[in-house]
Amino acid sequence: MPLSESGLLPVYLDVLPIDQGALFVASHGDRLGASPVISHDNGTTWVSTQLREGRLVLAYDPQGEAIYAFSNEGVAYRSTTQGASWSDCERVGFRPSEISTQFALVHALDSEHVLVGTRGGGVLVSGDGCETWRQSNNGLGSLFVNALAADPNDPDLIYAGTDGGAYVSFDSGENWSEMNDGLLGATVVYSIVVDPEGNAYAATPYGIFRLEAR
């Protein structure tokens, strides 16, 4: 099936790990009831994932052992078959961020350990592959979390961008510390990314900032 026949407006596109040529497309457009689609041949053909939500964002561990899909309503799914089949997760319970698609991440060394940033619930953590969730907000000054990012060289080092600035955790999201020095008073961090060398960058209303020291 060509993507043009799927009924999707391809606003969200992701590349699946491990499976070379695998692409995932979910709609953020008019056809909200349309199922997201997946391709295993670099986009030549597409098949429906049969998921019930059209607006989905993916998170997965770098080894590709598990993929998680989250809707903006807090509905979640898990796949251990590179997206060929999915199982239901426990509902997150709070609405994830609508500002960024970086609101969820999977620990690089533990595919059962998942973090989700939410609007009003802070950071939710699952240690059992999304069967249960708990809030993990110790030290977090804002419960409106827009983005999460992990250092590729240290998977326990995690950054959070919130409506109250930037935060860092050195223990996989159990405890958080503020790191807003140098942001020029910016109170909102829309997104955070970490490059392969471990340099962290934050996007704010005042521009892009690079973390100089930890």
What is the mean predicted confidence (pLDDT) over 194-199? Answer: 91
Each residue's pLDDT tens digit, 91-148 = 998 988 877 788 999 999 999 999 999 999 999 999 999 999 999 999 999 999 999 9
75: tokens are 């509905």
- This prediction's pTM: 0.85
Percent of all residues in the chain with a pLDDT value above 90, rounded to a whole number:
44
Contact 90, 132 (CB under 8 A): yes
DSSP codes of every residue in 126-181: ESSSSSS-EE--BT-S-SBEEEEEEETTEEEEEEEEETTEEEEESSTTSB-EE--T
Using CA atoms, how far apart are residues 114 and 125, in angstroms rounded to an integer? 6
Contact residues for 59 (Cβ-Cβ < 8 A; gap 6+): 67, 68, 70, 104, 105, 106, 114, 116
Domain architecture of the chain: domains with CATH = 1-54 (no CATH), 55-210 (2.130.10.10)
> Nearest CA to 209 among 191, 107, 198?
191
In this prediction, residue 27 has a pLDDT band, given cuts at 50, 70 and 90, of: low
Please state, rounded to an integer, the average pLDDT across all residues of the chain.
Answer: 84
Q: At residue 31, does pLDDT exceed 70?
A: no
